Structure 1
Amino acid sequence: MNDMLLIRNVLALEKNVIRQELTDVLIGEEGLVLQVGAGINAPDNCREHDMKGAFISRGWVDMHTHIYHGATDLSLLPEQIGMRTGVTCLVDCGSAGEANFKGFRRYIAEQAEERIFAFLNLGSIGLVACNRVSELVMGYRSVDFDRILKVISENRSLIRGIKIRASQVITGDLGIECVRLAKKLARISGLPLIAHVGEPPPLLDEVLPLLEKGDVITHAFNGKSGGNIMEDPLTFALAKEAQSRGVVMDVGHGSASFSFEVARFAFEKGLVPDVISSDLHCHSFAGPVFDLPTTLSKLIALGMSLEDVIECVTIAPRRVLSESVNENWLVPGHHADFTVFTVESVDFQTLDSMGSELQIRKFILPQLAVLGANWKECKSRGLELLTTGN
């Protein structure tokens, strides 16, 4: 869509502040913000959208997705979970390894409308067959330091971290040594380590002390026996201490990795998410995750504020990705990257990954996603399916 875009009557939301004055935003044909202010005169060849008091934020980032469609047995297409759901930036979390990253770049990142980044899997083959064939199936022979570092060097614009699935079904007898290996690679390459946690071994108690500021625990609020932060006071204390030194706690909902009970427990004790991501893939797309807006609405229902929830999909993930976070983001001259959304009153129940129910009364519903000169009207599959009972 190459016309100018005029977004009328929005309230800007940024880091615990909702600006109270309605404003208009004019975006030019080249994708730059041209004007911001009340009562902008619409130029010729301009599409107008009156948002009637909706919120506008930086474009949403979903920091844990699987979008290497066709090359893995669990990945979705970017367009299924991207701009049409309010998400302008998708991060693939370990679907590709060094042996098949070239295809990810050529057929996914370079073709998508959304901004695309990746966390490179420690294992050479990535998630070709996910849990049926571990990326570490050959033990240490599944990890090639030289090739991994070469692929990172050649793809710095895309690769923003190293991914390790630190669960027994993946690591097998290697246990915690896989995490040590991944951490060494992360240090050498100057990238954060993203550690998936779940079924031990390795124990979360072993993983947490290895992580440094900027590293990420994804599935931080999972409910798996022996692998969650609620069962053992020592584990919870280690998680709190890790967060205090800058380790990022990411929701990473997924089909098996988010527990309302664990989240409530952690929130009451002061451990809340730094990042909210969906872990959308083929096995979570039809529920319980559906999309990022549904995940955000669950966190609202668990007690997080709207401002904090939006920060968890705007500022916080951009910092993990080493993307610039300018204070003055809604100003002329900047590249347009926005999500416009409303907060709708609803009344229905939804599920976590454990089958537990949660009453949803406020739903964060995307209306418009803008990235450069491209824009999309948005919707939420989750809202549609949960309110119709399908």
Structure 2
Amino acid sequence: MFDNRFKPQARNLLIKGARPVGFAQPGLPPVLDVLVSADGAILDVAADIAADTAKLVEAKGAFISPGWTDLHAHVWYGGTDISIRPEQGGAPRGVTTIVDAGSAGEANFHGLREFIIEPARENIYAFLNLGSIGLVACNRVTELQDMRSIDIDRTIAVIKENRDIIVGLKVRASAVISGGWDLVPLKLAKKLSRVLDLPVMVHVGEPPPLYDDVLGLLTEGDIVTHCFNGKQGGSIIEDEDLYKLAEDAAKRGIILDVGHGGASFSFDVGKAALERGLLPNTISTDLHNRSLDTSVWDMATTMSKLLSLGMGMEDVIIASSTAPKRAINKPADNLLAKGKPAEFTIFDLEQGDLVVTDSQGARSTLHQTFEPRYAILGAEAVTAHRHQPIAAGEPGHKCPSCGWKS
């Protein structure tokens, strides 16, 4: 069954001259054409397909990968004070699937679904926040003060009613959120995850609880987001015991997610981990309105940062496409097979210098950047490009592909 968010188009779509990467699908031509039906299904993949009457997308040797999937973003625009519109980090940026990471709790999930997820061009899923109010007033009004913040019965009911959209539970395990409540919220989330057979995504940050203790509670399929944060007491490179716990967690099948954000990614931590062979399983932005024009920008720039720190190009693509899909139990194999829904990103890897920062303000110069050209959603080809950030106080600019004024 095809995702009903692929908007039906009147004509077939033909992608010509693209180089496949990240599919792990044997027998693909080094340069290929992809024919997509008007209803979004792949009709043919071959070295050369006649254009006929199909709409034509000329890749001109650009790469084609499974659609970029941002495992951690915040898109409950209007429902929280931190969220952006999906199109600000979605298809016009090359991202075909977005996972909202706990913007909504049980009390306001219905609005996220009706007003954001269902109308969106992109595929959007959600981790439901353990706290009933979610991130309504993020870091100003905590969603996890004490047990009055959590309604277990209603949380279970909302998840059961929205299994097609809700892919897990989100809990922020950090002193700035839960004060001295320590591990109790995570323990509750883990209990619910066992009852509902869903993973937990846990935000790690300022202790308590300790990052060490968080890892000890997680099991295979759970997700640690902000895995390479540089916060005091929460950095895996300032504590050898914690680093070994992180290595052990990865071996146990716990997913290490970048979750860059405005305060949660360090070049030094990422570089040190990569040099020791500890790679993130998934790359995500934690994109929100406080990180959009500061440290994060978009998915392509975040991917480029990991490339610059030593991850291989194909590893970066997998961590940004099929790995996050697997993390939320969505199809991730044989994505170029006939009959499969067409969901791809067409991009270039460009040479040139770009100065960027991490969440601590450390600067780095990227010499290669991922540059999205199209997001393919069914038979729809959305023109894409990297976000162009603006400095505080400067007049906004209008994005030519999504129309959004920064």
- TM-score, with structure 1 as normaliser: 0.95
Deviation by residue 1:367-387 (Cα, 9 ceiling, x = unmatched): 1111112220111014899xx
Q: Among 45, 60, 68, which residue is 1:36 paired with?
A: 45
Identity across aligned pairs (percent)? 48
1:104 to 112, 115, 122: 112
Residues matched between the structures, number? 383
1:254-280 CA distance string (max 9 Å, x none): 000000001111112221100000000
Shift of 1:330: 1.1
Secondary structure of the corresponding residue to residue 176 of structure 2: helix
Q: Which runs of 5+ in 2 are unaligned?
A: 1-8, 392-396, 398-406
- Deviation, 1:157, is 0.4
User: CA–CA distance in 1 between the matches of 2:374 and 2:299?
Assistant: 14
The answer as to whether partners of 1:219 and 1:252 remain within 8 angstroms in 2 is yes
Contact 2:294 2:389 (C-alpha < 8 Å) held by counterparts? no
1:77 matched to 2:77: no
Q: Which shifted more, 209-218 or 2-11? A: 2-11
SS class of match (1:53): coil
Any conservation in 2 of the 1:9–1:50 contact (CA below 8 Å)?
yes
Q: Decide whether the 8 Å contact of 1:212 with 1:245 is kept in 2.
A: yes
Q: 1-side partners of 2:266 and 2:10: how far apart? A: 43
Contact 2:23 2:335 in 1 (8 A): no
| Matching residue of 1:131 | 139
Deviation at 1:40, TM superposition (A): 1.1
Q: Match for residue 381 of structure 2?
A: 375
Kindly provide the amino acid, as one letter, of the partner of residue 35 in structure 2. L
Query: Secondary structure of the equivalent of 1:221?
Result: coil
- The one-letter code of the counterpart of 1:30 is D
1:4 counterpart (12, 31, 46): 12
Q: Is 1:339 equivalent to 2:345 in the alignment?
A: yes
Deviations 1:103-140 (A, max 9, x none): 11111111100001000001000000010000013x11
Q: Does 1:216 align with 2:217?
A: no
| Aligned residue number for residue 369 of structure 2 | 363
Report SS of the residue matched to 2:108: helix
Deviations 1:211-265 (A, max 9, x none): 0000000000000000111111111111110110000000000000000001111
Matching residue's letter, 1:99: A
Pairing of 1:264-279 with structure 2 (within 5 A)? 264-279=271-286
Secondary structure of 1:125's match? Answer: coil
Aligned partner of 1:342: which letter? Answer: D
Distance 1:127 1:14 in 2: 34
SS in structure 2 at match of 1:105: helix
Paired residues of 2:13 and 2:55 also in contact (CA < 8 A):
yes
Number of the residue aligned with 1:238: 245
Query: Is 1:164–2:179 an aligned residue pair?
Result: no
Give, in whole Å, the separation in 1 of the partners of 2:290 and 2:235. 21
* Runs of 5+ unmatched residues, structure 1: none
1:164 partner SS: strand
> Residues of 2 paired with 1:185 and 1:260: CA distance?
34
Query: What SS class does the counterpart of residue 98 from structure 1 fall into?
Result: coil
Deviation at 1:17, TM superposition (A): 8.2
Task: Evaluate the alpha carbon distance shift between residue 293 and residue 49 of structure 1 in structure 2; reply closer, same or farther with a 3 A threshold.
Answer: same
8 A contact 1:17–1:307 mirrored in 2:
no
Question: What is the aligned counterpart of 1:50 among 55, 58, 62?
Answer: 58
Which aligned runs of 4 or more in structure 1 are off by greater than 3 angstroms?
15-20, 382-385
2:321 paired residue number: 314
- Cα offsets for 1:127-172 (capped at 9, x unmatched): 00010000013x1111111110000000000100100000001111
The aligned amino acid for 1:308 is D
1:14 partner SS? coil
What secondary structure does 1:274 align onto? coil
Aligned to 1:330: 336
Secondary structure of 1:72's match?
coil
Residue identity in the other structure for 1:83:
A
